[in-house]
Structure 1
C-alpha cells in the first residue's frame, strides 16, 4: 500500500470538502478529543462551542491543538488477515487555538458556519445570538496530510 503526502493545496481542498473532524486539546488530565463541525477560512479553522467546558478550559491553559479530518475510502480485504489494508485520506492540522473575542470576527465565523450547513437562504447571526456561544479559531501553523493508494 502506497501512502502519498498531499500538498497544502490538496489538503485544504479536502478540508474544505468535509464537515466533521476531531479537535485534540491538552489538559491537566492529558489529551482530550472533541468531535466538531467546522469551517475553513484561509489560514484559520472556526468552531462554535458552549462558552464553558473541558475543551474551552484546556485551550485557555494551553493553546496548542491538533485538528484531524479523515475519510475511509475502502477496506482492502486479503486472504491473510495480517495483509488487510485500507484506502483513506487523512489531514492533521497543527496550530494554536483562541477564543474569538472581537464581535466582528465572531459574527463572520458563525455566519460562515451557518452558510456551510444550512441549505438555501438563512437569517444572519446577530450580536445577541453570538454573545451566547463561544467561537474558537485555530490558526493553522502546519498541515500533515496523507492519502493511501493501491
Structure 2
C-alpha cells in the first residue's frame, strides 16, 4: 500500500467494516471485459453472501469465472482544506479477492438470507418454498482482504 499509515492491519477492524456496511460492490471479468455491480450482502465472519435472480449478466459471468474482487466502504465524507487540490475523502474501506460459490444447500441458503435481511430489519420472516427456489444465493469465499482508512482517527 502506497500510504502505509492508512493501511488497516488489524483483522478485527477489517471484520468490523465488513459487518457494518450494507452495500458491497463486486467486480467480475468476462474475458477481458470488466463488470461491476452493487449488491446488498451479509458477512458471517468467514464468507460474504448476497442474493440474486438465478439468471442475468453477473450470474452468467460467475458461471464462467468464479474469481471476484469486492469492495465495501463506510464513514464517507469530505475533509476540506484551504486549497481545493488538498481536499480528501474520509472513509474506511475493505477490498478483497475471493471465489464465488452458488449455495445449493437449503439450510445455508436460509441462514444467508436471514443474515442479509437482519441488516435491514429485526423482524423474522419465513421464506415460501417457491421464493427460495427462484432465489439464487451466492457465497464469496474470501482469499485475501486489505483495509484502508483516512480521516476517521486511524489514518
Q: TM-score, normalised by structure 2?
A: 0.86
Equivalent residue in structure 2 for 1:35, among 38, 42, 50: 38
Which deviations, in whole Å up to 9, do the C-alpha atoms of 1:57-111 show, x marking residues without a partner? 1111011001101125331222322222122111012110011112221122112
Q: TM-score, normalised by structure 1?
A: 0.89
User: Does the aligned pair in 2 maintain the 1:103–1:127 contact within 8 Å?
Assistant: no
- Corresponding residue for residue 90 of structure 1: 93
User: Does the aligned pair in 1 maintain the 2:8–2:14 contact within 8 Å?
Assistant: no
- Corresponding residue for residue 59 of structure 2: 56
Moved over 4 A (4+): none
CA RMSD, Structure 1 to Structure 2 (Å): 1.9
CA shift for structure 1 position 29: 5.5
User: Does the aligned pair in 2 maintain the 1:39–1:47 contact within 8 Å?
Assistant: yes
Equivalent residue in structure 2 for 1:125, among 112, 124, 127: 127
- Corresponding residue for residue 142 of structure 1: 144
Equivalent residue in structure 2 for 1:106, among 89, 104, 109: 109
Say if 1:69 and 1:12 are closer, same or farther in 2 by CA, change over 3 A: same
Say if 1:64 and 1:113 are closer, same or farther in 2 by CA, change over 3 A: same
User: Does the aligned pair in 2 maintain the 1:51–1:132 contact within 8 Å?
Assistant: yes
- 5+ long unaligned stretches in structure 2: none
Say if 1:37 and 1:30 are closer, same or farther in 2 by CA, change over 3 A: same
Which deviations, in whole Å up to 9, do the C-alpha atoms of 1:108-138 show, x marking residues without a partner? 211222223223x322224332111110100
CA shift for structure 1 position 19: 0.7
Task: State the secondary structure of the residue aligned to 2:119.
Answer: helix
- 5+ long unaligned stretches in structure 1: none
Out of 79-88 and 29-38, give the one that drifted further.
Answer: 79-88
Task: State the secondary structure of the residue aligned to 1:117.
Answer: coil
